[in-house]
Structure 1
Amino acid sequence: MSILRVATYNIHKGVQGMGPARRLEIHNLAHAVEQFDADIVCLQEVRRHHRKLEKQFTRWPDLDQAGYLSPEGYESVYRTNAITRHGEHGNALLSRWPVIDTRHSDVSDHRFEQRGLLHVQLLVEGKEVHVVVVHFGLIHASRERQVQRLGEYIGTAVPPGAPLVVAGDFNDWGAQLLRPMAALDLRTFEGIRLATYPSRLPLLHLDRIFVRGLRPVSAHVPHGRVWARMSDHLPLIAELEL
């Protein structure tokens, strides 16, 4: 039995707080990601650059955030979802295993929310494993259409028998996407509630890990003051049997 450890984390662009209280958390996030000891780390709201904040914070990393957060020996992959006035942000994947191929698919549902799928193909112990990192919209109807587009994408880009992980921030306040995801043969941990948002008082299970061709073994969400400071989300860490 081979166990694959997967984490998903919305890092809130590496910055927390508002106005004068705004603080840079990217350095603490780098230590946190290393502590996951995960084979695969799926990240949302990752910045490549931000001209205004780079000037505001003297300790802004020289590397893009995906590269900076990547532990030694890992490969990092980043693709942009949203272009903003001062920079851009998107999804990223950090992998202990070799990256074979990378693709990106735009699933924006309207012009006010730019969203995308990051698809990374990995070679894990000689077997091809596909991982799709998602960050769905804030409107339920948009999320339903994005699940439909996810299914269409998987149908054309992922072989039917290949192990598949779909992880990220689904913004699914009422767990209404579980049924349409199950219709795509994508399953998650059943019977346990893993609240990840808001990080200071987690009530909502917004971050999820779905699998096809793997067996969910265990999952947990770390808690505490340190975790509550780094992002508005908490990370979700799971072990999957390959």
Structure 2
Amino acid sequence: MNTSQLKVLTYNIHKGFSQFNQHMMVHELREQLREVGADIVFLQEVQGMHSKHAEKIDNWPDGSQQDFLAADVWQSTSYGSNVIYDHGHHGNAILARFPIEHSHNQDVTHHRFERRGLLHCAINVPGLEKALHCVCAHLSLFARSRRRQLDALAGYLENIADPDSPLIIAGDFNDWRNEADELLAQRLGLCEVFGGAYGSPGSPGRSFPAKRPVLRLDRIYVRGFSVTHAEMHFGDPWSKISDHAALSANLLHDNCGDVR
């Protein structure tokens, strides 16, 4: 593999269940992730542990969902729990084909009834002079809370990453008003991968609901890369796995540019 090229994917996996929690779909999810073949995978609503499901569901994976999904394909995983309850917890995860040098889960909860976090990893990608900073985000349903969380995200990255370090932020932004673009572009020099692919610049891909997407909730933002291809994965079989569509992008380490 030419390590100047990367493929990334983001997906809210709905804790491994189909829409309305009708069926456990984590085995089908693993197959689809492997078929896409991304080098770095950003996952939201990952079930780190659920003792009740483990007892009642025959084919519930042993161990955490992130380790089950990554097995034999992605050598490194990082997980940050956001919501903790008596029988388990769930949060964000990053799977990578390359070594994760450092990880940190930042609590950005604004309302105590809506736990949110930002999982940051520094990944050692062969061929890159500096560590690749990756953030898996799952932001609030409320606009005021999202703005605070985006400000916290930008402030955190400004403190720990050089302005010219390669950077990818991906996840479920719940940002149907598209307020994130301006802040992330101005403060961190990021570009949204669908800007030049499916409409005018600043027009992210539609990702919800997965069967026939209408809302632009999920995002991939990059710095230090050109985007050679961006794709929305929706309809069958994706809509049977989660209520969100998955988004992927092929990246070329260079400078942020339009999709070609």
Which of the five TM-score ranges fits, normalised by the shorter chain?
Answer: over 0.9
- Give unmatched runs, 5+ long, in structure 2: 199-203, 254-260
Kindly indicate whether residue 223 of structure 2 is the aligned counterpart of residue 221 of structure 1.
Answer: no
TM-score (norm: length of structure 1): 0.94
User: Amino acid of the residue matched to residue 211 of structure 1?
Assistant: V
Residues 3 and 241 of structure 1 are in contact (CA less than 8 Å); yes or no, is this contact kept in structure 2? yes
Residues 4 and 39 of structure 1 are in contact (CA less than 8 Å); yes or no, is this contact kept in structure 2? yes
Q: Output one character per residue of 1:43-77: Cα deviation in whole Å (capped at 9) or x when no partner.
A: 00001111222222111000200000114141111
Kindly indicate whether residue 192 of structure 2 is the aligned counterpart of residue 188 of structure 1.
Answer: yes
Q: Find the residue that maps to 2:9 and give its secondary structure.
A: strand
- Give unmatched runs, 5+ long, in structure 1: none
Q: Hey, what does 1:239 align to over in structure 2?
A: 250
Q: Hey, what does 2:144 align to over in structure 1?
A: 141
Q: Hey, what does 2:201 align to over in structure 1?
A: none
Q: Distance in 1 between matches of 2:18 and 2:235?
A: 16
Counterpart selection for 2:154 from 151, 154, 166: 151
TM-score (norm: length of structure 2): 0.88
Residues 12 and 172 of structure 2 are in contact (CA less than 8 Å); yes or no, is this contact kept in structure 1? yes
Report deviation, 1:182. Answer: 1.3
Report deviation, 1:212. Answer: 1.5
Q: Find the residue that maps to 1:47 and give its secondary structure.
A: strand
Moved more, 111-120 or 68-77: 68-77
Kindly indicate whether residue 19 of structure 2 is the aligned counterpart of residue 8 of structure 1.
Answer: no
Q: Distance in 2 between matches of 1:37 and 1:129?
A: 19
Q: Output one character per residue of 1:7-61: Cα deviation in whole Å (capped at 9) or x when no partner.
A: 000000001254xx72110110110111121110000000111122222211100
Q: Distance in 2 between matches of 1:68 and 1:76?
A: 10
Aligned-residue CA RMSD (Å)? 1.5
Q: Distance in 1 between matches of 2:159 and 2:124?
A: 20
Check 1:85–1:173 CA distance in 2 against 1; reply closer, same or farther (3 A cut): farther
Counterpart selection for 1:161 from 153, 159, 164: 164
Percent identity, aligned pairs only, is 39
Count of aligned pairs: 240
Structure 1 consecutive aligned stretches of length 4 or more whose deviation exceeds 3 Å: none
Task: Give 1:27-66 correspondences, 5 Å limit.
Answer: 27-66=27-66
